[in-house]
Structure 1
């Protein structure tokens, strides 16, 4: 499956036709430290690229979670709501935040791939 990344440290993995899963990157969870609370978006609500869809709170700080591309929320990770530490244990797997229906595949295609994201992280460290 294709995974892309945002400058705000979200990842988005393409699943099926115009469907995707979104979470925070390993870099983001490292920077936050132990996650203790997550606020997830409302299922059925549509967001534009860059809109705040939730909040991640850790022992160190709180950070907004942004919509990586425009679309509609189709599911949230209730397991993450019940056990926020999943964002630390498995940020690219069981620690996903929400699933969405993509509005514009062009926005997805414009995001960074893994090598570009790693270069971005190193340049902004």
Structure 2
């Protein structure tokens, strides 16, 4: 009887797959990152973190995967994981803040000088310091 119960449990696990869960946090202060994207590369499996920084990806077949995490303003995270004979797999991710690099834009204009009150359109005056 015990053999049959073990066989049924193995079959159910194979059908429903495994799950990966954990939290995504800022490495500089430990605060949770809300809305971070977690993906298993090469598959359609993924999730986004909730208000507590928690995520869960369910129904994952056994195998080798690369889990990746991304969040605006943070360095992307990748890690190789092996899901074998485990019902639940936990990975807590600490993401490193990274400055967003953008191109420099210079805005210039040439127009005769007029008073702001006389302008036919909305005008904002910006100094060199701004």
TM-score by length of 1: 0.27
Larger radius of gyration: 2
Which structure exhibits the higher relative contact order, with contacts defined as CA atoms closer than 8 Å and separated by 6 or more residues? 1
TM-score by length of 2: 0.27
